[in-house]
Amino acid sequence: MKAVYAAGVNHDDPLGVLEVGDMPEPETKPFWSTIRVKAASVNHHDVWSLQGVGLSAEQTPMILGTDAAGILEEDIPVRKGLKAGTEVVPYTFVGTDGAGVMPGERRTILSEKYAGTMAERTQVPSANVFAKPANLTIDEAAALGTSWLTAYSLLFTSANVNPGDTVLIQGAGGGVSTAAIQLAHAAGLEVFVTSRSEDRRRRAMEIGADAAFETGSRLPRKVDAVIESVGAATWSHSVKSVRPGGTIAICGATTGGQPGAELTRIFFQDIRV
């Protein structure tokens, strides 16, 4: 089958090991289901994989992709309504036993240990297959998993924000930040965003941000929580922008993962990270 895959890993030239070509069809596994992929989306995780983050050279060639939507190829008898031909969306995290994932269990995402979604067919545990929401197109559904579930978890589990709280979302324009803006707006939060791009700041306002600032700008007041995916370039600003007792919820470090920790400010201000 045709697939997009990492032929190797290269930190300095990730696209140099990106290939499109034939890969073996997924082998049938007990309690797993096969999906004929109709759409798959690109995430920063795919670049990390090509750079060797979470994927070693010994594991390549590895099919990339952590999100998809498509057509279920066989009935799942224990799952009501999931018949062959149903449009479905997979949850692509897999637990240590290779059969779904339980809360608190160590997990992996497709394209790390198991083949990813950028192929004509992909497989996930049958427990991880869900009917596509009727109000979403195949393309929209394929863009949900990694970015939107991450954003939801950051806002409502890690940061534990409530209606009326103020949240700062660093780096408007990325997948997680775009999802977080819309989710926070829908939940009744006041939403501040930052970006170096005027176009991205304007777009953030269009999708639900209450105010958009140049990266590093002083905010009108402290926020209850920060959603941080940028890393070193915005870390100090995040620490200075959150109120005493507030939360910084982290999901990435695109600009570098070794910023000055600013531990004194963090413990004096009782900031939760």
| Rounded Cα distance, 215 and 175, in Å | 17
How do residues 209-224 score in pLDDT, each as one tens digit? 999 999 999 999 999 9
Non-local (6+) Cβ contacts of 2 within 8 A are 20, 21, 22, 23, 119, 120
Q: Are 50 and 81 in contact (CB under 8 A)?
A: no
Give residue for tokens 């910084």. 248
| Rounded Cα distance, 185 and 62, in Å | 37
Q: Are 270 and 244 in contact (CB under 8 A)?
A: yes
| Domain boundary assignment for the chain | 2-143, 147-268
Which token pair is 218? Answer: 């002083």
What pLDDT does 120 receive? 99
The band of 102, judged by pLDDT with boundaries at 50, 70 and 90, is: confident
Q: Are 175 and 144 in contact (CB under 8 A)?
A: no
What pLDDT does 257 receive? 77
Q: Are 41 and 111 in contact (CB under 8 A)?
A: no
CATH classification number, 147-268, choose in 3.20.130.10, 3.40.1390.10, 3.40.50.300, 3.40.50.720: 3.40.50.720
What pLDDT does 262 receive? 86
Which token pair is 258? Answer: 């070794």
Q: What is the mean pLDDT of residues 138-156?
A: 95
Percent of the chain predicted with pLDDT > 70: 100
What pLDDT does 119 receive? 99
| Rounded Cα distance, 24 and 121, in Å | 10
What pLDDT does 254 receive? 78
The pTM assigned to this predicted structure is: 0.88
Q: Are 237 and 170 in contact (CB under 8 A)?
A: yes
How do residues 60-86 score in pLDDT, each as one tens digit? 999 999 999 999 999 999 898 999 999
CATH numeric code, 2-143: 3.90.180.10
